[in-house]
Amino acid sequence: MDVKGVVLWESKFKESSRLLRVFTDKLGKITVLAQGALRKNAKHLSLTQPFTLNHYELIRGKSFYYIKDGEVLISYYDLSRKYEKILYGNFVLELLDRTAPEEEPVPGILELLNRSLEGILNSDEELYALFFGFGLLERTGFGSEIRGCIRCGNRKIKELYFDPEEGGILCENCNRPGSLPISKEDYKALYFLKHKPERLKEENIDRSSREILWKISSLECRLRLDIRHLNSMDMINKIQREKKRI
């Protein structure tokens, strides 16, 4: 079976093998055993690393898939040269690993993953991690509605609120306890992330908007995807706290 995929997680397995979870276009998330991947001169080592888009020729076994052959198609591995890029890259992989169902293809996700990893490597890593989070919600049917007030349809909102429970924007007349006041700048950043990511490069999104975006993203991931905790997020919070202190 021929698939394209990205390694989400890997672990040493027995003496010289690696166990992988790979997100693929045709099979969704699968478990792959790369036999002998850690042996000297192993043929398939590069296919077992995260941050690359690979082509795999797989054989289906009883418990795992096995790699018959394959090649690296696009490598984003250079992002591992910068600590912060690794953290945001890990966030993307962990979030997908935790939410993707086993052996169930999800259309559009591999493209989203590629675009996000490319952005993390070549552009603002934090924004492209957020871009992945919002894109994942969108493509799994949980995207929030931000083009107008979700209660009254008002599109000329003076005071904006984001309501995670209702999944969208509320206006000054409809806001309720629990909805999050957001500035015009925050809204603009959220809009670009969700609908016009190509604009992210030119926009200057400041720290306070980024913090609101993380807040919205983590509330939505908790409510819609049941994600309460990610190890990668702990690391991200830690460096963000350290940065603040400087």
Taking the CA atoms of residue 149, residue 154, residue 160 and residue 165 in that order, the dihedral angle to the nearest 10 degrees is -10
Contact mark string toward Zn ion, 88..117, x via CB under 5 A: ------------------------------
From 55, 115, 151, 215, residue interacting with Zn ion (rule: CB under 5 A): 151
- Supply the minimum distance, in Å, between the C-beta of residue 152 and Zn ion: 3
From 58, 87, 109, 149, residue interacting with Zn ion (rule: CB under 5 A): 149
Extract the tokens encoding 75: 């490598």
Contact mark string toward Zn ion, 163..202, x via CB under 5 A: --------x--x----------------------------
Cβ proximity to Zn ion: between 152 and 239 the closer is 152
- Supply the minimum distance, in Å, between the C-beta of residue 127 and Zn ion: 28
C-alpha to C-alpha distance for 183 and 174, rounded to whole angstroms? 16
1 binds Zn ion (CB under 5 A): no
Residues that bind Zn ion (CB under 5 A): 149, 151-152, 154, 171, 174
